[in-house]
Amino acid sequence: MKTDPKNDLPPYFNIDPDTALGTLGGPFETEGFARIAQACEAGRRDLAGRGLEEDGRRQLRLFSTWEITRYLIPVAVGHFRRVLKQNPELPQGRSETEGGAKWFTLDEVLRLRAHFAAEGSKAKNYKPWRPEGLPAKMVAVANFKGGVGKTSTCAHLAMSAALDGYKVLVIDLDSQGSMTSIFGGKVEDEWQTVFPLLARHYGQHLRTENQRRLDRGEAPIPLDDTLTEALDTQAQRLVQKTHWPNIDLIGAQLNLYWAEFQIPVWRMQARGWKLWDALTESLEADGLLDDYDVIFLDTPPALGYLTINGLAAADILLVPLGASFLEFDSTGRFFDMLHSTFSSIEEAENMAARALGREGLSFQWDAVRAVITRYDGTQQAELAALMQAYLGPVLSPHRQDYTALIGQAGEQVRGIYEADYRDFNRETYARGRETFDATYAALKQLLLGSWRRDEQMAEAAE
């Protein structure tokens, strides 16, 4: 049988120019971007709506007795049921069928956990450890390479910490607002983002600097309407409740990107403004470091001013990357830029500090770890081992696998912890969440270790 040699050619041969012209369409003008954006917004609302209840609000699913005793409260199923029977004032759950399994809200699970912590065996950790009197730990997830699973990793770690019993605040620093969408946040403009906190910090600096100017007989720098309004902002007003009872959110939207243009203007007006301290000091001043246990910062995929603020605020820095040459190379450049950026800030600040006889600036993090995401052990094991050899303990030995459960949860606009295991089966669900449970376990070890070190330092200082 003869074959047509034309059919054996690659598809880029013999393209007819007239046919190409017919499929090209008319010239594209600026207004076309608006139509595309509107279509994407309509699609986004449709997709997001699939995770919402009839009243338009997102609601966290229920948790079964099996899940609670396996993942959330370390007791046997029989003992769990006996405790509920002996304490009718505790949440009793609800059954979807007569005699069926009991299901509980996460808020009810947290109440049950508190009961077991108060009345149960002291040998078991029913509640996660957090030393008294020490501030929340801030965890930044960052990389300027897009598509490495940065937001997904940050969101799942926040959910893991919440399921573990910590009170969590998520701060979205990315103007794309993906983290905000995951947690169902509604942000109308930049005044519901971290922008007014940064503006307030600058306004407070300018107000102090203006007093010095007046004392020297110089004209003050006027505060514009933006700064005047920001001075009345409190961080608590920016915090939104989410469908998770112990996760709150400071969201983001497109206008937040304006901060990348405004911050350097402020810095030029007042060279003494320590812009890298703006987020840290604002959260501390408003008491948010006491209100929460862990604060997660989702940063933009670029080393801009918002990312610098997030990284400077962080106690722990996590850098997700894939097991590929390009992502390894890009991540290396990211660390190189971190070194250049923060060392240049230190150098400039310390030069001034030495001249004035003051203590110098030194950035410090409790821990910095890279973590491999979207891992396929059948194809990437050799490269991952090579990356481990070069990065050593900086690269977490845990690999975050990509599973069908992760993919399906993403398609349904929710995290894997929000997925109902009955949509799969118990075994598939258990395998699917193992990779994120292990990622969180590695982070929790860093959290506890850094808190313990802080506690020992505080005791030694006393």
pLDDT band at 4 (very low <50, low <70, confident <90, very high): low
Computed over every residue of the chain, the mean pLDDT equals 87
CA distance 344 to 121: 52
- The average pLDDT across 304-315 equals 93
Label residue 400 by pLDDT band (50, 70, 90). Answer: confident
User: Lowest-confidence range among 55-59, 200-204, 441-445?
Assistant: 55-59
pLDDT at 256: 94
- Mean pLDDT throughout 22-47? 74
Taking residues 317-345, what's their average pLDDT?
A: 90
| C-alpha closest to that of 222 among 208, 233, 206, 204 | 206
Please check the confidence at residue 193 and state whether its pLDDT lies above 80.
yes
**Residue 408's pLDDT band (boundaries 50, 70, 90)?**
low
Span 67-83, average pLDDT: 93
Q: How many CB atoms lie within 10 A of CB 461?
A: 6
User: What mean pLDDT is predicted for residues 91-119?
Assistant: 90
Rounded average pLDDT over 298-317: 92
Percent of the chain scored above 90 by pLDDT?
51
80: pLDDT confidence band, cut at 50, 70 and 90?
A: very high
Greater confidence (392 vs 172) lies with 172
pLDDT top residue among 447 and 121 = 447
Instruction: Write the pLDDT tens digit of every residue in 147-190.
Output: 778 888 899 999 999 999 999 999 999 999 999 988 999 999 99
pLDDT bin (cut points 50, 70, 90) of residue 30 is low
pLDDT of residue 411: 46
Top-confidence residue, 45 or 231: 231
pLDDT at 5: 55
Reported as a pLDDT band with limits 50, 70 and 90, residue 376 is confident
pLDDT number for residue 53: 59
Nearest 10 degrees: Cα torsion 333, 336, 337, 339 = 160
Question: Where does residue 236 rank: exposed (0-12), middle (13-18), buried (19+ CB within 10 A)?
Answer: exposed
253-301 tens-digit pLDDT: 999 999 999 999 999 988 889 999 999 999 999 999 999 999 999 999 8
pLDDT at site 3: 53
Lowest mean pLDDT among 137-141, 234-238, 458-462: 458-462
